[in-house]
Structure 1
Amino acid sequence: MHRIQLDNREFEGANAVYLLGADEDGPTTLVDTATAQPTVQRELADGLAAAGVGLADVDQVLLTHFHGDHAGGAGAVQQAGDAVVRVHDADAPLVERDASALAEFEDRQTTLFDEWGMPERAAGELRDRLAADALWSDPAASVEPFGDGDRFAVGTGEIEVWHLPGHTVGQCGFVLDDGDERALFSGDALLPKYTPNVGGADIRDEDALQHYLDALVRIVEGGFDVAYPGHRQPIEEPADRARHILAHHRERTGRVVDVLAEHGPADAWTVSAHLFGDLAGIHILHGPGEAYAHLEHLQDAGLVAVDGGEYALREERPALDPLFPALD
């Protein structure tokens, strides 16, 4: 396995993509591609060359999710050598840049920005940023969708798809167990430094936080020796990292409750401002999206009521422990 670090100063640090099977018979496989930006694609070509592989030698690309910093270069890799590009069926239309899927996504964004209480100035800045980010994915790839539990040959071994939604609806990890090491290629489901955004990173998911909590529990119980994330360095204790993120979301939900208790009913934008302060760039999306995911989690549990986009506590200090898994 070859880990290739690629430039990314916009999100969670340098992207990591993984080359599997280059030294073996069987499919030469790339897990994620990073963006389509020319400098990044040159870095990818150089990283592959260092492993004795050219872009045209890649037989298949396994994408963890649709975001441009993971899937944006898939079309270029495919064009170089006709590689098969695979992604979860929920994210496939966005990787293919399907016009109706993109239009539906943008309509949903507009609806939620209004529902969250996002000021028009901030919404305009965000739309400009998202339009620029669309250039990170070019050209579009033709994909073959997969689902949870599907298996694919990788070199002389086999890799299994694990659906780990929350960050996106189709976020997946890939499990590779060679007998010596049980590894999870985790994409953005598990990161070593930051906690993956939920709520803003994929506005299609109406229960993003619960889905992500379930994914974290699955990782804890997965028995992994190591996780290879989509950014930065490998994670040597994946279960411990997943537990830490679970505790983080429990603490953040408590902070959301504190905001509502102290300031009264509020929309997602206002709660986000209390949690994160002033926002710029992509955080204009991620901040209120994260607040929204936690507010909806509280609403689904019957602990808050919503009226006209504003959330209010049903009781002064609701019990939060039942909303989160108890793990050893």
Structure 2
Amino acid sequence: MERVSLSNASFEGENNAYLLADGTDTILIDTGDWTDTTRDRLRAFLRGRDLDIEAIDRIYLTHWHPDHTGLAGEIQSRSGASVHVHARDAPLVEGDPDSWAALRSLQERYFDGWGLPASKRAEIRDRMVDTPVYETPEVTPFEDGDVFSVNGRHLEVVHASGHAAGLCLFETTLDGASVVFSGDALLPVYTPNVGGADVRVERPLQRYLDALRTIADAGYETAWPGHRDPITDPATRAASIVRHHEERAWNVLATVERRGPVDTWTVSRELFGELAGIHALHGPGEVYAHLDHLERTGDVVSDGSEYRLAAGVADRLERRDGRRWDLSI
């Protein structure tokens, strides 16, 4: 297995694709985006191994986001490679117009509920299109628990929703060690956005915490993420992200106490400042994920689009020694 570092202008750092070519099949996990820089890097990497795009037999995608799927259609058209992705994400990867229109409509409904200003909605729309502008593939959907044979080893699908509805891990054994291709579920530097990155996910923070528990309990020796460098202690990294969300929960509650009743956009501005571009989606999305979780645990209550603290929560905030809002693993 080899990691292919590809281009990406986003804050997560350069995308990774993974080449498994130590047998009769040539496999890619993720493809990076559709830009010329990514295409050139992938071609150069393959040439250095006496391969080309036409040699790729199968592509496994961790989730639908374009920075992970952008070249899948082009590779398929050149090589005939099959493209595999979780069933929840398959229509978006294929570029189904109805599915993309439904996503945009759902986003607009959330924007209404979050109190997103018209100017911020326009910035988000400028970064998005109704259907992909790059070549899209035909896909073969898979489900949680499916197992693929890859050059004499098993590659097992583990559904890990939260950041995206169909986000999946691929677990396998390399050199006798249990490893996982974690996509954006586990990143070494940043925490993946929940709530804004895919508004189709119901209870996004809870789903993501469940994914972190799955990673922590699995005992993987290494995680190969969708961005940046490998993670040598996945369980510890998962626990640190949980602590991050615990701290964010305190900060969200403190903001609701100080400004409430308050809408999602106002809490986002308090925590993250004046966000622009795609961050104007991710910031309030993350706050929404926390408010949704805190409402379900009885720590905040909502009246339409505004939130206030539930009875007794202000005292726990003052003591800062209350329960952990069901976030610990």
TM-score by length of 1: 0.95
Deviates more, 1:260-269 or 1:82-91: 260-269
| Aligned partner of residue 204 in structure 1, secondary structure | coil
**For residues 144 and 131 of structure 1, what CA distance do their matches in structure 2 show?**
24
Instruction: Assess if the C-alpha contact under 8 Å between 2:123 and 2:278 holds in 1.
Output: no
**Once the two structures are superposed, what CA deviation does each residue of 1:156-183 show, in whole Å capped at 9, x if it has no partner?**
2111011111000100010011462111
**Once the two structures are superposed, what CA deviation does each residue of 1:45-102 show, in whole Å capped at 9, x if it has no partner?**
1112222221111111000000000011110111111101000000111001111111
**For residues 211 and 46 of structure 2, what CA distance do their matches in structure 1 show?**
31
**For residues 158 and 325 of structure 2, what CA distance do their matches in structure 1 show?**
26
Q: Which residue of 1 aligns with 2:14?
A: 14
1:264 aligns with 2:275: no
Q: Which residue of 1 aligns with 2:193?
A: 197
Q: Which residue of 2 aligns with 1:274?
A: 270
**Once the two structures are superposed, what CA deviation does each residue of 1:176-203 show, in whole Å capped at 9, x if it has no partner?**
1146211100000000000000000001
Instruction: Assess if the C-alpha contact under 8 Å between 1:2 and 1:51 holds in 2.
Output: no
- AA partner of residue 55 (structure 2): D
| Pairwise CA distance, 1:23 | 2.8
Instruction: Assess if the C-alpha contact under 8 Å between 2:95 and 2:131 holds in 1.
Output: no
The correspondence for 1:241, drawn from 230, 237, 242, is: 237
Q: Which residue of 2 aligns with 1:210?
A: 206
**For residues 247 and 185 of structure 1, what CA distance do their matches in structure 2 show?**
22
**For residues 81 and 230 of structure 1, what CA distance do their matches in structure 2 show?**
23
Instruction: Assess if the C-alpha contact under 8 Å between 1:61 and 1:86 holds in 2.
Output: yes
Q: Which residue of 2 aligns with 1:77?
A: 75
Instruction: Assess if the C-alpha contact under 8 Å between 2:294 and 2:325 holds in 1.
Output: no
Which runs of structure 2 are paired with 1:297-308 in the superposition (5 Å)?
297-308=293-304
Which runs of structure 2 are paired with 1:144-223 in the superposition (5 Å)?
144-178=140-174, 180-223=176-219
CA 1:133–1:92: 2 relative to 1, 3 Å:
closer
Long gaps (5+) in structure 2: 317-321
**For residues 265 and 307 of structure 1, what CA distance do their matches in structure 2 show?**
9
**For residues 325 and 191 of structure 2, what CA distance do their matches in structure 1 show?**
22
Q: Which residue of 2 aligns with 1:23?
A: 22
- AA partner of residue 160 (structure 1): E
| Aligned partner of residue 323 in structure 1, secondary structure | coil
| Aligned partner of residue 228 in structure 1, secondary structure | strand
Q: Which residue of 1 aligns with 2:319?
A: none
| Aligned partner of residue 170 in structure 2, secondary structure | strand
The correspondence for 1:121, drawn from 115, 119, 122, is: 119
**For residues 247 and 133 of structure 1, what CA distance do their matches in structure 2 show?**
37
CA 1:305–1:163: 2 relative to 1, 3 Å:
same
* Number of residue pairs matched by the alignment: 322
| Pairwise CA distance, 1:320 | 4.2
Long gaps (5+) in structure 1: none
- AA partner of residue 142 (structure 2): F
**For residues 213 and 304 of structure 2, what CA distance do their matches in structure 1 show?**
34
Q: Which residue of 2 aligns with 1:97?
A: 95
- AA partner of residue 6 (structure 1): L
**For residues 282 and 130 of structure 2, what CA distance do their matches in structure 1 show?**
17
1:224 aligns with 2:230: no
The correspondence for 1:112, drawn from 100, 110, 113, is: 110
| Aligned partner of residue 130 in structure 1, secondary structure | coil
Instruction: Assess if the C-alpha contact under 8 Å between 1:68 and 1:133 holds in 2.
Output: no
Q: Which residue of 1 aligns with 2:326?
A: 323
| Pairwise CA distance, 1:9 | 1.6
The correspondence for 1:63, drawn from 57, 61, 64, is: 61
CA 1:320–1:139: 2 relative to 1, 3 Å:
farther
CA 1:244–1:133: 2 relative to 1, 3 Å:
farther
Sequence identity (%): 46
- AA partner of residue 170 (structure 1): G
- AA partner of residue 144 (structure 2): D
Deviates more, 1:87-96 or 1:155-164: 155-164
Instruction: Assess if the C-alpha contact under 8 Å between 1:3 and 1:18 holds in 2.
Output: yes
| Pairwise CA distance, 1:104 | 0.5
**Once the two structures are superposed, what CA deviation does each residue of 1:261-307 show, in whole Å capped at 9, x if it has no partner?**
11111111101001100101210100000000000001111221111
Instruction: Assess if the C-alpha contact under 8 Å between 2:101 and 2:130 holds in 1.
Output: no
| Pairwise CA distance, 1:132 | 9.7
**For residues 179 and 50 of structure 1, what CA distance do their matches in structure 2 show?**
23
Which runs of structure 2 are paired with 1:281-320 in the superposition (5 Å)?
281-315=277-311, 316-317=313-314, 319-320=322-323
